Amino acid sequence: MLKENLSGQTVIITGANSGIGFEAARKLSEKGAHVILAVRNGEKGRAAVNSILQGNSEASVELMKLDLADLSSVRNFSSAFIEKYDHLHILINNAGVMIPPYGKTKDGFELQFGSNHLGHFALTGLLLPLLKKTPGSRVVTLSSIAHRGASIDFDNLDGSKGYKAMKFYGQSKLANLLFARELDNRLKLHGIQTISVACHPGISNTNLFNLGKGETPKYMKGLMKLFSQPAAMGALPTIYAAADDSLTGGEYIGPDGRGNRKGFPAIEIPAPGVFNEVTMNRLWSVSEELTGVQFDF
């Protein structure tokens, strides 16, 4: 059952200045939550905050700087948040980069794996102390249908032995899904009430589809309308994952339409063999090693 009243709840959404993150921020603030838009670009962040307030002057929204491609920024954000707040109800790991040219994060990780997975892994670990002491808290991590057919190439995580943008995007989104499930497993193992849920937006018409080249080409915009849904629809699985009372952790939420590309949110069963325990444990260990963040369960 979707909670309609989130008054008194504090929510962090990464990458909330546009697309699905923005729509989720708008909707959750309408439900009364205090929403922190954790974004890299201050100007775009301020525009997003103003847009939400124009639509709802009662909204409680706040802007904080966070660059997931820079672990020092992740640590600074976490420290600043912990200094200001003694609770965190919902963390939504939403921000992402999709199929850019080969590049690296500030810490030398391949850009997609570093931003989409490692940045969120570190952020979640650093904020875990607050999540643990907040009743009914949860972590929502966004994956993608691009995880299908993907694998984690532990011998080439940095792309130095070859890089294909879509393959590495799929790898990062599979990592998001495996992290969400393994986090839930470990929370339950340690008797912690915080839950972890994964979701994906199907195919949504957002600025992720700029193919790393700035503005989306006109021909792509036309094609996108045929097989995608608006960002407001794409955000529904995120809202469901963040605010549905019936979820117990470990679920994967996506659109209920054909191929899970469009539609309304429902619990989705990933392909058999996706949740491989050996891979999940190895990914966790490698992520701790690369980020230097240990989870204090």
Q: Phi first, then psi: what are they for 100, rounded to 5°?
A: -80, 165
* 169 tagged catalytic: yes
Among candidate residues 214, 209, 118, 112, the one with its CA nearest the CA of residue 163: 112
3-state secondary structure of 173: helix
Interval 98-117: pLDDT, tens: 999 999 999 999 999 999 99
Catalytic one of 85, 163, 169, 240? 169
Query: How would you classify residue 43: left for phi > 0, otherwise alpha for psi between -120 and 50, otherwise beta?
Result: alpha
Which sequence spans correspond to the domains of the chain? 10-289
pLDDT in tens, 206-228: 554 433 444 555 555 555 555 56
- Where residue 5 falls among pLDDT bands split at 50, 70, 90? very high
Q: What is the CATH number of domain 10-289?
A: 3.40.50.720
What is the number of alpha carbons within 13 Å of residue 157 lying toward its C-beta? Answer: 19
What's the pTM? Answer: 0.92
**162-196 residue pLDDT tens:** 999 999 999 999 999 999 999 999 999 999 999 99
